[in-house]
Structure 1
Amino acid sequence: MSDLMSENHVGPVISSLLVDGVGTLGFLALLGVALYARARKRAEARSAEASFDGAKPLVPGAAVLFGEVERAEGAETAVRVEVDQAGEDHETSGSWSHKWTEKGRRVLVEPFYLRLGSGDRVRVEPRDDVFLVDEMDGVIRVDLKTRVRYAELTPGERVYASGTLSRAQDPESPPAAGYRSGREGFVLRPPRGGRMLLSSQPLGERFLERARFHGRWAKWILLCAFVFHALVLGFHLRRWAGTDTTAPIVRLHHYTTRSEDSVVDHYMVWMSPREGVLVRDHVDEGDFAWMQEGQPVRLRLMEAPFEKRTTIGPHLTVHVFAWSVVPLLVGAWLVYRLRERATRPWYERPVVDSGGGKLEATYEAEKARSQDRKSA
């Protein structure tokens, strides 16, 4: 009788492992990952925002500037990131969809100027490893299955620029008496051993957006854990409010249920832990075979209104349904990681776009859009 338990329940060790180990510690660990990522991104946002001081005078050294983009004389661009994409379309059950996949990217850079709020004009000389944070809203449709998406700093756009500021040659600086070169001004270049950052967003915004993402997922993880524990509520009730006791069997009942293609046997045991109190539970066929009316059995008794949560046997057990916590936790982790990658901005991941309809249905509109932007 020491191994007696309710039908379709797992043993006490596995029960504790599923509920406490996977269902509690597992979700707490995943929640901790999300909350840590959220805190780290918020700290990066604060650090990025603190790096900018609009009132700070121009002095050589590490600097973060904010100003309006002006192209250099004769330049056709300032910074432009182009992403080559190949398109393909598919039919599923009569419905068409298409996808554009990145095949390569390149960065076009030329020196440009930032007109600061103070009126100073600073020359910016980025390298082709510049980190551009801007909207990728340009499209050039080359042919039916080839296009180029691009992000570009345009004249008049206001951006933050982070790098190393120094006095250096500036071909557009007005001649100044006392300088041997005659044309010298402040020039912003990439930091030694690092990349220049150019951002049309507030410096902390991209970190705050990722912090919000991880915060939302922390809530989803909590919801998944809550749903699981709500479904195994009986286990928790028996743990904290149940009473180990012995009760005689007052009735044994075998019945069947039928469906179109099966007949299922059920074995119900009625017990009376005290006068006027009846509880019941199901057992498997093997246990039912040796049971007799009047025989005392151990049970985990729950009082009203939770008497239906009573289970037969000396152990704290849970229904085999609790195994669902394993795919639930693994699934939550996988979806979280996949969404974390898929929702990164274009400058941190390969650019893949999808939509409804065939490629040819988008061709004319994107071709016209390309020509309009080119003429503008």
Structure 2
Amino acid sequence: MGTQESYEKLAAEQAVKQSRPVAASLVILLGLAALALGLVIAISFGAATISFGVVWEAVFRFNPDNPDHQVIRELRLPRVFAGVMVGASFAVAGAIMQGMTRNPLADSALLGLNSGAAFALAACMAFLPGLPYTYMILFCFAGAAFAVAVVYGVGAFARGGLTPVRLTLAGAALSALFSALSEGIALHYQIGQDLAFWYAGGLGRTKWEHLEIMLPWVAAAMLGAFALSRSITLLSLGDEISKGLGQRTQLVKLAGTVIVLILAGASVSVVGMVGFVGLIIPHVSRKLVGVDYRWIIPCSAVLGGLLVVYADLAARMVNPPAETPVGALIALIGVPFFLYLARNERREL
């Protein structure tokens, strides 16, 4: 018994030693600097280019009679802040899922959470038109929770247990089912145009009221993620090691799942089906800062916001004044990345 405990403690110590706090601090600082630059550029560029001086005046000396100030305050500022929040939320949700399940393919989109939330959103549009956004976000949480329950239920009853590949396949099948149901609702109730925006994924319709409602949920979930970071590090080493070091693994997994549901559900309710952020960013963070989730989670938050802000900027510049869906641009990176990870996972099996 003593030998086992010593091994478990040694494994935990090795995980901490493999972390790179100096590198993590640099990633966070440089990421925040690049994010600040991206925010300024994203606010300035669009269908109409606005100078940096006008942007400064609109932020600090707002004139309601100036149309450029109105564009910045009412359209571009909520858009870029939503990009930061959504990118950080998807990235942290993916990091938590990958740490808890030890599944390198885990992501809220790949496991059906995003499609579950989007299906709930379609049902709200069809059956409860005019529903306040406060209640819509709750329905998105419920849809994401149902998707998680189904995916884990199907995977758990499969022969051989819940392997990473089975979990991903179950999520892909459920995502296809929810997408088909949502499209059927859209056709029958003639809400296809509104629903198309959510499925394409974009920040163009974000308003301040959305951010005001979303911010407390995301802030609380982020604080919860930081509080759980050490426990997730131990879970990522395996359930036996985590239990041996005194972790209540089931309680940690339940808390982590609730956090993921909040982050994914709130994000989908604002921007729709933007996938692969939670798949790509945690892998990049681990590569840069090691395996300690006390550093992976904050780095993922910064890099996730950075990815979505710059992807949204690129989406506006590809074919102006029309906008390319930001979800499509991120998918151009995410699909090859997913195939690369799936190939490696198959080799390990």
Give the number of the structure with larger relative contact order, counting CA–CA contacts within 8 Å between residues 6 or more apart: 2
Instruction: Please identify which structure carries the higher strand content.
Output: 1
Range of TM-score over shorter length = under 0.3
Taking structure 2 as the reference length, the TM-score comes to: 0.25
- For the pair shown, the structure with the greater C-alpha radius of gyration is 1
- Normalising by structure 1, what TM-score? 0.24
